[in-house]
Amino acid sequence: MIPMKPTAITALVTSLCLALLSPAPPAQASPGYTRAELQRDVDALRQRGVIGIQARVTSGRRTWTATSGLADVTTGRPVPAEGHYRVASYTKTFVATVVLQLVGEGRLGLDDAVEQHLPGLLPDRGITVRHLLQHTSGLPEYRAALPGRDRAGFEEHRFDHYEPRQLVALALARPPTSRPGEAWSYSNTGYVVAGLVIQAVTGHPWAHEVRQRIIRPLGLTGTSVPGDDPRLPEPHARAYQQWTLGGELSDTTEFNPSSSDAAGQVISTTRDLDRFFRALMSGRLLRPAELAEMLRTRPADDGLEYGLGLYRKPLTCGGYYWDHGGNTTGTISRGGVSPDGEHGIALAYTGAHGNSLEDIAALAAASDRIVDRLFCEQRRD
């Protein structure tokens, strides 16, 4: 299935999260954020309404992990510390990084019109590569036209295959959200098009370039781009989706991820995702000029700032961190990295559930609080 885009409901949830998060300062228990505190926090998150959670914290040369809950509700198997999971929209940061590498090589420009590389694909010739990565293209969202957005639809269509141009065509049947560059509007479609731009420039699919330019050089042995393969590599926790508030959970582990394409297809681990983001911030993947372009933000939704494939998120103690986040059917991933790349956290949880929007908001706030505590404690250390 596809990475989830913010909706009116999720906007309400986010506002409730901020209300819950902002008044609560990070704990003063000890200098730095400790292994014991991480375990306590993931246990608390599980008790708020998830089936299983895994987390990894890196601070300088120190690394520690924590897990809580179940990987499989049928067998009672515990969550693996380095389980594979679908990172969903974190894929966008990988794709944006490849595009910026190509910019640094002089093979395309951020302000190139998409028409220059993909003639005739888009009706508006004013859309640029920058617009795609920044969510300012005005391209409508294709996901609303896909089946599988309830339990019955998911079961019927979970193994359907989609071509990227097919996804773009679904989007273009809808009106644009704005003129190019005028407004910020989250668009999975824009990143599908960015994947096609990578292929047009390099002659290779975007997934090949991500493997060659990021996965292999960084030794991300737990990271893959599955294509049509519906399976997760072992070990992994099974994914569970609650389709309606208060409803039952269903197993959504296996499905064809081609409907996500360059907007959300990557599978990874907390170790690999943390390593990728720390390498990105420390300048191992992009030259200073291209990294500066990535980190140049504009206002997004919910009081956040968005660059090129990255959100800048505020801390309750002042300052900010970088992240993207990813939601897909049955799995939610969160994390972040400090601006200097010295501190990072990655967490993933399955089976988020609740009986009300307030329950879901409290769950989201609790996961945000874990990230906030890490960075605020390290700033005081």
Of 89, 137, 259, 338, catalytic: 89
Q: Are 304 and 365 in contact (CB under 8 A)?
A: no
Give the C-alpha distances (Å, rounded to integers) separating 210 from 87, 168, 170: 14, 21, 25
How would you label 253-282 residue by residue, b for 16+ Cβ within 10 Å and e otherwise?
A: bebbbbbbbbbbbbbbbbbbbbbbbbbbbe
350 sits in which H/E element = strand 343-350
| Residue 89: active-site member | yes
Phi, psi of 27 (to 5 degrees): -65, 155
Helices (H) and strands (E) in the chain, counts: 12, 13
Query: By CB neighbour count within 10 A (0-12 exposed, 13-18 middle, 19+ buried), where does 236 fall?
Result: buried
Catalytic residues: 89
